Every structure is written in C-alpha cells, then in structure tokens.
Amino acid sequence: MFNTLLVEDDISYRKTLYDALHLHFPLIGVEEAGDGREALSKVEYRRPDLIFMDIQLPGDNGLDITKEIKQTHEDIVIVILTSNGLPEYRQQAFLNGADYFLSKEDDFCMENILTRVDVALARLSRH
C-alpha cells in the first residue's frame, strides 16, 4: 500500500488536504501529524512513501525534521508545503533534502499536490 503522511499543525488545512487525497486517491493510506515529533514517530512505524511537510510547526521546524528524516530514509519523497513561499525558504528546503517545494498561497496548490501524488504513485509502480 502507498502511504502518505501529512505534517501540518493547522487542523482545518490538514483536514482539507486529507479529504482531497481520499477523494482523488481512495486506495492510499493517509496518516496525519500535528508536529515534528509526531511526524518522526509515524515515519518509523508507518514508513510513508510521501510526506507533505509544513515549515512552521509547534516546537519544531519542518526543515529540520525533513533533514532528520532524509538522513535515515532518503527514499521517502518530501514535499515542503508552506505559506512561506520566500526564496530563502525554498533554498533551505532543498538544502535540507526536500524533493519539492509548494506554496499554499499558489492558485494551483491543490492541483500541484495531486500531481505530486500521481508522480509518486507512478514511480512506485515502476519498482
């Protein structure tokens, strides 16, 4: 089964994303985490294929959590999904191992999210 982890402290945004993923991809597993520590725990026991990671999390920085995950699980695809679309955040995201960077403020954000899932699913089915 293909597993996705949503790491987002905004509960309403996380629910919107969760609902969209289940609507478009009803057979994938979707886990949720509200902070970085919970995300790290879920990475260890659920081993997601794809993670959508917010930058600003309670107590943790999503970029640091991304780096920590990539050090031991470099094959997990991590998409930084944030309202902080500044170039310096984008640069730091890639320096910390993120595979993609999406801004929540982008008019096509949800379409880009669904595309990232499509790409990840296609890549997994080839292996």
For residue range 52-67, what is the model confidence (pLDDT) as tens digits? Answer: 999 999 988 999 999 9
Is pTM beyond 0.85? Reply is yes
Angle at 113 between CA 102 and CA 91, to 5 degrees: 20
- Each residue's pLDDT tens digit, 80-112: 999 877 899 999 999 999 999 999 988 888 899
Specify whether the backbone of 42 is left (phi greater than 0), alpha (psi in -120 to 50) or beta.
alpha
What's residue 25's pLDDT? 94
pLDDT of residue 127: 60
Residue corresponding to tokens 């725990």: 41
In this prediction, residue 1 carries a pLDDT of 81
Domains within the chain, CATH numbers bracketed: 3-125 (3.40.50.2300)
